[in-house]
């Protein structure tokens, strides 16, 4: 979704899709090839995706759920706690889901505070003997970008950014870690081999995304994010996050009036043309910021915290990354 907001008006963008169409053709072809060679199912959801394997794996987020299903090659039953479209920052477990975590043979979680609403449940399960793999902690996490100044706040100073899945190379490392853990659990190295195949797919995806984003001039590689979630994307592909609407690594925080004023000034000073917002969060606050500027600012929705629902073009992790790249290029390539 692309909305232009500025000077007190809001309208759907009607032009500028030439780059988008070119990317849609090249990246969509790559996604189709991956769909043929990938190991697992693209299905995701709180009760979907269970296979006939002897191992029961509980996964926290929809992104990790899709990765795990591809990594297992049907060798395990996989339950994903979150459903497409749910914001992981605000998600909490039902009593049944908490019991499923305790009873799992393996739990795959993101970690680094992403599962804020039920981190205690994950830690209790680990302390009780359930293997819990916190993927983000093992793939070279980086500190928050500090966009908007929030990295200097006492609460988040020194914290590592949990949004590692927005870098396909880090998720390739994560896939291999999951595969190694499955191999240990199953006593079968075939699981690691399947994970390696999927990891190579993600490494190829990274190359395709870098090529797709190369159409954006270096002078145009600036944007504002709704919250501090795009640091890995910016670090991997050479972008600058000028600021964030919500001055936090979580969608649950709220900006002050002075935060808004400073962000509007930064957008005008840097000539930022776009604010990227999460598909799972209402864009009203970002639209308010855009309307306060003296220029046209696009509001473009990306899939950051969750896979998309059926028909969204982001039903799998690979499609999520490809769709985001298309939208970023369409917004910034000019």
Q: Please check whether the two domains, 2-15+217-332 and 31-209, share a CATH topology.
A: yes
pLDDT above 90: residue 267: yes
Give me the CATH topology for the region 31-209.
Answer: Rossmann fold (3.40.50)
Which of residues 265 and 282 earns the better pLDDT score? 265
User: Residue 115: is its pLDDT beyond 70?
Assistant: yes
**Residue 22 confidence class, pLDDT cut points 50, 70, 90:** very low
The Cα–Cα gap between 297 and 288 comes to 11
* pLDDT-based confidence at residue 256 (cuts at 50, 70, 90): confident
Can you give the residue ranges of every domain in the chain? 2-15+217-332, 31-209
Sign of the alpha-carbon dihedral angle for 307, 52, 46, 109: negative
pLDDT at position 255 is: 84
Are 170 and 144 in contact by the 8 Å Cβ rule? The answer is no
Q: How many CB atoms lie within 10 A of CB 157?
A: 12
SS3 196: helix
Name which of 172, 61, 173 is nearest 118 in CA terms. 61
Higher pLDDT, 116 or 23: 116
- If DSSP states are collapsed to H, E and C, what string results for 238-286? CCEEEEEEECCCCCCCCCCHHHHHHHHHHHHHHCCCEEEEECCCCCHHH
Predicted local confidence at residue 4, as pLDDT? 52
Rounded CA separation 119/168 (Å)? 25
Of 3.30.70.20, 2.30.30.140, 3.40.50.1980, 3.40.50.300, which CATH number belongs to 2-15+217-332?
A: 3.40.50.1980
What pLDDT does residue 53 have? Answer: 53
Helix (H, G, I), strand (E, B) or coil at 226: strand
**Does the structure show a pLDDT above 70 at 77?**
yes
**What SS3 class is residue 132?**
strand
Selection from 133, 114, 122, 131 nearest residue 195 by Cα: 133
Contact 249, 156 (CB under 8 A): yes
Q: Distance between the two ends of the chain, CA-based, in angstroms? A: 17
Kindly tell me the burial class for residue 247, based on how many C-beta atoms sit within 10 Å of its own C-beta (0-12, 13-18, 19 or more): buried
- 44 pLDDT tier (thresholds 50, 70, 90): very low
Mean pLDDT of the chain: 85
Question: What one-character DSSP code corresponds to residue 225?
Answer: E
Residue 46 has pLDDT above 80, yes or no: no
pLDDT of residue 36: 42
* 333 vs 47, higher pLDDT: 333
Task: Decide which of 35 and 246 is more confident.
Answer: 246
Burial tier of 312 (Cβ tally within 10 Å: 0-12, 13-18, 19+): middle
């Amino acid at each position: 979704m692309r909305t232009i907001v500025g000077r007190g008006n809001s309208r759907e963008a009607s032009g500028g899709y030439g780059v988008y169409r070119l990317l849609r053709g090249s990246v969509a072809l790559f996604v189709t090839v991956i769909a043929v060679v990938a190991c697992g199912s693209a299905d995701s959801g709180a009760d979907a995706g269970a296979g006939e394997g002897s191992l029961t794996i509980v996964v926290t987020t929809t992104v990790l759920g899709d990765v795990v299903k591809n990594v297992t090659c049907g060798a395990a039953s996989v339950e994903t706690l979150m459903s497409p479209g749910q914001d992981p920052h605000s998600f909490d477990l039902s009593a049944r889901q908490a019991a499923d975590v305790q009873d799992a043979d393996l739990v795959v979680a993101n970690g680094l505070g992403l599962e804020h609403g039920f981190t205690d449940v994950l830690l209790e399960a680990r302390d009780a003997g359930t293997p819990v793999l916190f993927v983000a902690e093992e793939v070279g996490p980086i500190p928050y970008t500090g966009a908007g100044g929030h990295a200097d706040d006492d609460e988040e100073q020194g914290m590592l950014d949990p949004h590692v899945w927005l870098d396909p190379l880090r998720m390739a490392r994560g896939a291999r870690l999951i595969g190694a853990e499955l191999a240990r659990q199953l006593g079968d190295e075939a699981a690691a081999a399947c994970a390696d195949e999927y990891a190579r797919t993600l490494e190829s995806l990274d190359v395709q995304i870098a090529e797709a984003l190369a159409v954006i001039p270096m002078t145009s590689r600036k944007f504002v994010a709704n919250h501090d979630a795009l640091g890995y994307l910016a670090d991997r592909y050479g972008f600058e996050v000028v600021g964030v609407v919500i001055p936090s690594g979580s969608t649950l925080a709220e900006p002050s009036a002075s935060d808004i004023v400073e962000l509007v000034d930064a957008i005008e000073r840097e000539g930022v043309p776009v604010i990227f917002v999460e598909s799972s969060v209402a864009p009203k606050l970002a639209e308010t910021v855009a309307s306060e500027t003296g220029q046209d600012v696009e509001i473009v929705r990306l899939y950051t915290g969750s896979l998309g629902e059926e028909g969204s073009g982001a039903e799998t992790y690979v499609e999520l990354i490809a769709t985001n790249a298309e939208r970023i290029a369409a917004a910034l390539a000019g």
